[in-house]
A and B are shown apart, each in its own frame.
Chain A
Amino acid sequence: MMLLAFDLLLAAGLLGLAVLVVAGPTLFVSLVAYTVFGLLMAVAWARLGAPDLALAEAAIGAGLTGAMLMLSYRRLLAIRPERTGQRLVRRSRLALPIALACTVLSAGLFMALAGLPEPQRSAGGDALAATAQSEVGNPVTAVLLLFRGYDTLLELLVLLVAWLGVAMVQAQARPSAPRPPAPVPLLDALLAAVVPGTVLVGGYLLHAGGQAPGGAFQAGAVLAAAGVLMALAGRLQPRARATPVQAGLLVLGLLVFTAAGLWPLAAGQPLLALDGLATVYAVEAAMTVSIALGLCLLFLGAAGLGSK
């Protein structure tokens, strides 16, 4: 009974924040609402019994995305200082009909979802059975790497192409002169404490991913957070053009995963059937590095730090 009340509370919170995000008085209010929404979402995932998702949501959804949006907002103001106080752009005349259509959509969706039948044999069941035989304990990691590795590989490519897009758009802006980092003792002390901690947490998540919730994505996200902190503090100087080393690290995950996928082909095994825990961990590590660097570069691009 208690759980139901908690769920209702959580639901109300989520919906309220969503309304605030969409129809908040000013942009800043929407941004803050979105960040809080991210956090609540992490709680929701935990509540729904999906620890991996909770971790990912917390690190990527709430953390990185929230920060990115906030910095983007600040960059907007920096580009055109004279337009800070301007009221929001006039709401479109079609607001009412679209609102109506959206409510119809929600209602229709809800009724459809409610009426969804229960399948006899589901892929999920097979996945759980298959994970039992494989060395990997955590079913999500098993699905991600062993059973549907193809999707994960493509997902890395999505990360790469997002970065390419950012680089494409960023390249057109004039690269800003690299500012020498001003020594801020308090900040240095904070960094000295936090950064090693995050690296440690990242390493643990990577290791635990095999058997328990965690894995490449979550570890990558945490490391990315560390990277972002360093960049914000001015320690890491983002250059407009990624150096070959940076690019190499970025695509490391992709290369290792593909190599691991193609290797069994030589031995006559079917493609992308990663054998043995060692390969899984190797791939996981490479992916973590790529994801971390990728997310970090994306953050810098999105926040417009790299350019004037």
Chain B
Amino acid sequence: MSALLVALALLLPWLAQLFAGGRARIAAVVVAPLPLLALALLDAGEVRAPHLLLGLAFAVDGVNRPLLLLAGLGWMLAGAAASRVARAPVRFARFWLLVLAGQAWLLLAADLAGFYGGYLMMTLAAFGLVVHAGTAPAWRAGRVYLAMALAGEALVLAGVLVVAGSHGNAALATIAGDVPGTAGLLLLAGFAVKLGQVPLHVWLPVAHPVAPVPASAVLSGVLVKAGLLGMLRLVPPEAVAPVGLLALGLLTAFWGALAGLCQQRLKTVLAYSTVSQMGLVMAAFAALQASGPVVLPVLGLLALHHGLNKIALFLAAGGQVGASRWRGLLFALPALSLAGLPLATGQLAKDGLKSAIAGAGWETVATLALPASSLLTALLLLHAWSLARADRPADRGEVRPVHPAWPLAVLAGLVVPWAWALAHDGAADRTASALAAGLLPLLLAPVIRGALARWPAPVRPRLPEGDVLVLVAPAGRWLARLLARGLDAWSALDWRLPVAWPAAAILAAIESRLRRLPVAGGLLLVVALLAALALGG
């Protein structure tokens, strides 16, 4: 891992900004993430830059390698699709590259300050992508996203400062060992916001759909994983009991799927599927906390698998899936992979997850909860499939050609996780029985779907996007208005000193009397008397 490559990875997005204005915009956008991919494939290593900021350090190690791979591929694929963004493409490209720069710094950072820097820059820049559409819902989504993101970032900052209090800006590797409990809790909460765990997930289904297609792809596919990286790097096992994390993960998985089913827009459904998948990732993380780093490859696979396939799905969402059978297939493949189709990486990842959870001692969860969640995921994707098929242009007129990035993404979604699994032998030797068990939910899903189909449409439960948000939002707005009115009232108070300067009239009146000879003479006598008394006394 050469220092030049790391520098290139960090600086290329900034250099690309120069070309963002010109014709080579798409080329710049696609090429920018290449160094990340290269780093993911080359061997691990560390580079230190003591003079930068507070002593920056960059490393590639087992923890961030899968995410680097995911980021490299994901950003390139989504970047290619960015050519389709019609509205203010230059501004979109600039924000796109900013987010990429933040992500690159975050992934490669090996020191505390650097990590936090990347995290914050990525979060803030993503706001640009969320509100890119400029419509009212986009602004509302942007505000929600920003509020939640900043809250999360504040928690992370607090955690980071507490950690740095004892360690200074030490390398993440050394810190992983003893992170004080309170800091761990803060960090966990902060990263949970980014990872979209219930109830902190409300921003995700609101923000992702409004963003342009490539942006949603990257947001759901890659950026969400930043939370995972943070937890892996910083959150110590003793921060929260692993079983608690497990419960949180499963709750998010089920909640995400169920809420997704009640949605009517394809991109929102996909967003909810991300929420539920992230629940599973949290469960895997709980397992890792319980049984140690042996679970790491499973997490890596899970992240990689979900990332690539989700990108493919989002690209599909923009590609008028209903227009032709070929597009239907391109949508079905990643969907099935995600649902856990045997021989596809989805099922591989799920088995890895099952064994990890079982390994951590929670057999009942592994046997019962996981299949149920797989079933729900399948149902959700089926619902997504029906919505996608409905998306065909009204008249035969303008059907946009399939963007090459889409099929590539589908291919990547299928091939790359396998390559990764093979490279890390641990996950390869699945027995036939496990494969069969994986097939069961896939078969059950259409049956249940058929049963539910008869349920009359209007009665079908319809949840607004962001479910819990709808309850919280008005309270938030009321609070903001109250604060605003309070501050306005306070600043309106006039703090002028109430001392009434002796009015000019009184002074002038007394002064004019003092001038008169009788008064002046009288006062002379009084003063003489006083002096005599003072002297005589």
The answer on direct contact between A and B (beta carbons under 8 Å) is yes
User: Interface of A with B (CB < 8 Å)?
Assistant: 92, 94-95, 97-98, 101-102, 104-105, 108
A104 partner residues in chain B, CB cutoff 8 A: 525, 529
Interface of chain B residues 487 through 536 with chain A (CB within 8 A): 516, 518-519, 521-522, 525-526, 528-529, 532
| Cβ B518 vs Cβ A101 within 8 A | no
Which 3 pairs show the lowest CB-CB distances between chains A and B? A101-B525, A92-B518, A94-B518
Bound-complex Cα distance A97 to B526 (A): 11
**Other A-B pairs beyond A92-B518, A95-B518, A98-B522, 4, CB < 8 Å:** A92-B516, A94-B518, A98-B521, A108-B532
A101 partner residues in chain B, CB cutoff 8 A: 522, 525-526, 529
Bound-complex Cα distance A95 to B518 (A): 8
User: Interface of B with A (CB < 8 Å)?
Assistant: 516, 518-519, 521-522, 525-526, 528-529, 532
| Cβ B525 vs Cβ A102 within 8 A | yes
Beta-carbon nearest neighbor of A94 in chain B = B518
CB pairs A–B below 8 angstroms (14 shown): A92-B516, A92-B518, A94-B518, A94-B519, A94-B522, A95-B518, A97-B522, A98-B518, A98-B521, A98-B522, A101-B526, A104-B525, A104-B529, A105-B528
B525 partner residues in chain A, CB cutoff 8 A: 98, 101-102, 104-105
- Do most interface residues of chain B lie in helix, strand or loop, or is the interface mixed? helix
A105 partner residues in chain B, CB cutoff 8 A: 525, 528
Shortest C-beta distance, B520 to chain A (Å), equals 11
A92 partner residues in chain B, CB cutoff 8 A: 516, 518
Shortest C-beta distance, B529 to chain A (Å), equals 7
Interface core residue of B522, B529, B532 (most chain A CB under 10 Å): B522
B529 partner residues in chain A, CB cutoff 8 A: 101, 104
Bound-complex Cα distance A97 to B529 (A): 14
Shortest C-beta distance, A89 to chain B (Å), equals 12
B518 partner residues in chain A, CB cutoff 8 A: 92, 94-95, 98
Shortest C-beta distance, A85 to chain B (Å), equals 25
Beta-carbon nearest neighbor of B532 in chain A = A108
Interface core residue of B516, B518, B526, B528 (most chain A CB under 10 Å): B518
B522 partner residues in chain A, CB cutoff 8 A: 94, 97-98, 101
Bound-complex Cα distance A205 to B448 (A): 151
Shortest C-beta distance, B26 to chain A (Å), equals 97
Beta-carbon nearest neighbor of B517 in chain A = A92
Shortest C-beta distance, A287 to chain B (Å), equals 35
Bound-complex Cα distance A262 to B55 (A): 91
B516 partner residues in chain A, CB cutoff 8 A: 92
Shortest C-beta distance, A92 to chain B (Å), equals 4
Beta-carbon nearest neighbor of B526 in chain A = A101
A102 partner residues in chain B, CB cutoff 8 A: 525
A98 partner residues in chain B, CB cutoff 8 A: 518, 521-522, 525
B528 partner residues in chain A, CB cutoff 8 A: 105
Beta-carbon nearest neighbor of B522 in chain A = A98
B532 partner residues in chain A, CB cutoff 8 A: 108
Bound-complex Cα distance A102 to B525 (A): 8
Shortest C-beta distance, B535 to chain A (Å), equals 11
Beta-carbon nearest neighbor of A105 in chain B = B525
Bound-complex Cα distance A105 to B529 (A): 8
Shortest C-beta distance, B143 to chain A (Å), equals 77
B521 partner residues in chain A, CB cutoff 8 A: 98
A94 partner residues in chain B, CB cutoff 8 A: 518-519, 522
Beta-carbon nearest neighbor of B529 in chain A = A104
Beta-carbon nearest neighbor of A91 in chain B = B518
Beta-carbon nearest neighbor of B528 in chain A = A105
A95 partner residues in chain B, CB cutoff 8 A: 518
Bound-complex Cα distance A108 to B529 (A): 9
Bound-complex Cα distance A50 to B509 (A): 50
